Amino acid sequence: MSTLIIHHDDCLQHDPGPGHPEQIRRLKAVLGGLEGLRKLEYLPAPLVGEEQVRRVHSDSYQQWLAEMEPSDGRVALSESDTLMSRGSLAASARGAGGLCFAVEQVLAAQAPNAFVASRPPGHHSGTDFSMGFCLYNNVAIGARHAQAQPGIERVAIIDFDVHHGNGTQQIFAADPSVLFVSSHQMPLYPGTGDPDETGVGNVLNLALAPGDGSDVFRTAWGQRGLPAVDAFAPDLILLSAGFDAHHRDPLGQLEVQTPDYEWLTREIMGLADDHCDSKLVSILEGGYDLQGLAEAARAHAAALSTAA
C-alpha cells in the first residue's frame, strides 16, 4: 500500500489576491515538492457533506459564509486578511472533505496513512468564526467524522504550525475525548496558546520563543508533546501540518530546519504504531515561503511513505 496524497484542483480557485501570503502558488509548491517520491498514491478530494460540517460549525456560520462569497472580486470576513473569492467555499469544502475521505481510507486499511494537500488552512476557524485565512476547521471536521466511525473514540490532534491553532482549541477545549497538542511561537498571532490554557486537561500548549530552533523544538516535543500523546493512547492521530516554523518563513521567527519535520513525523508515526495500528492522517496548514514549504512538505511526506 502507498501513502495517500489527497488533493483537488478546486483548492487552486481560492484567490485572496496579489501579495497575500496564502497564495495559490503555495499548493503548487507542495505538490511540486512531492514529485519523484515513491510509494505515494494520488486521489481526488471529495466535497465535504453538510452533516460532516455541522458536527463542528453552526448552521448560522455556514449560512453566513455562503452569503459572503462574492461572484467576483474579493470580500474580507472577520479580519482584513481573511478573504473570500469566488471558489473559496469549494476550496474549503475540498479540504474538509478530503480529510474526511482520508480518514475513511486509513480506517478501512486502504492506506497506512495520508496527507491532504489543500488550501486554505483551517486551524484558526472556530465553531462560528473565521480568522487567520481559515474558513472551515478541517482538522476538527475530520476528528468529529472519525469519532462517528466504529471503534474511534479518542483522537489526538497534533499541531506544529508556527501559529497557535486557536480555533481547534476552542472547539475541543471542553471535550476530553480529543487531545490537542500544539507547538507555536509566542508572542505571535493570534495571541493565544499560553501554557496555562489546558482545557479540561486535554490541551497542551508548547510555547516557543522567537529564535528558537531545532534543539528547543525537538526538546519540547520529545520531553512533553510526544509523551502526552503516548499517555493519551489515541485511536487515531490527526496532524495540523503547518510548515511556517521553518527558518525561511516570513510570518514567524522560529529557526526550525527541514530535517526537524522528518524527525517529528517519524516520532509521531511511532506513536501511531504503538496505539492505533499506524492510523495517521495529516493536512496542510501554514507555510508561506515557497522553497521552505516545498522542502518541509517533501520531508514530511517522505517520512510518511516509509510506512507504505
**Residuewise pLDDT in 10s, the chain (308 residues):** 899 999 999 999 999 999 999 999 999 999 999 999 999 999 999 999 999 999 999 999 999 999 999 999 999 998 999 999 999 999 999 999 999 999 999 999 999 999 999 999 999 999 999 999 999 999 999 999 999 999 999 999 999 999 999 999 999 999 999 999 999 999 999 999 999 999 999 999 999 999 999 999 999 999 999 999 999 999 999 999 999 999 999 999 999 999 999 999 999 999 999 999 999 999 999 999 999 999 999 999 999 999 87
| Helical ranges in 35-113 per DSSP H | 50-54, 59-68, 88-107
Residue 108 vs residues 102, 103, 130, 151: alpha-carbon distances, Å: 10, 8, 32, 12
State residue 257's pLDDT score.
98
Element housing 300 (H / E): helix 290-305
The C-alpha angle with vertex 133 and arms to 61 and 156, in degrees rounded to 5, equals: 80
- Parallel, antiparallel, or unpaired for β 83-85 and 178-185? unpaired
- Parallel, antiparallel, or unpaired for β 236-241 and 280-284? parallel
Alpha-carbon distance of 185 to 143, in angstroms, equals 24
State residue 210's pLDDT score.
98
pTM: 0.97
Place of cell 448552521: 59
Bond prior to 187 in cis (omega within 30° of 0) = yes
State residue 98's pLDDT score.
98
State residue 198's pLDDT score.
98
Spell out a b/e string for 257-293, using b for 16 or more CB atoms within 10 Å of the CB, else e.
Answer: bbebbbbbbbbbbebbeebbebbbbbbbbbbbbbebb
- Confirm if 252 and 212 have CB atoms less than 8 A apart: no
- Confirm if 5 and 301 have CB atoms less than 8 A apart: yes
* Torsions phi, psi for 46 (to 5 deg): -80, 170
State residue 78's pLDDT score.
86
How long, in residues, is the chain? Answer: 308
Report, as residue numbers or ranges, the catalytic residues: 124
State residue 266's pLDDT score.
98
State residue 102's pLDDT score.
98
Place of cell 510526544: 226
What is the number of alpha carbons within 13 Å of residue 236 lying toward its C-beta?
A: 34
Alpha-carbon distance of 35 to 62, in angstroms, equals 36
Task: Tell the CATH superfamily of the 3-305 domain.
Answer: Histone deacetylase domain (3.40.800.20)
What residues form DSSP beta bridges with 75?
84
User: In this structure, how many other beta carbons lie within 10 angstroms of the beta carbon of residue 233?
Assistant: 13
State residue 281's pLDDT score.
98
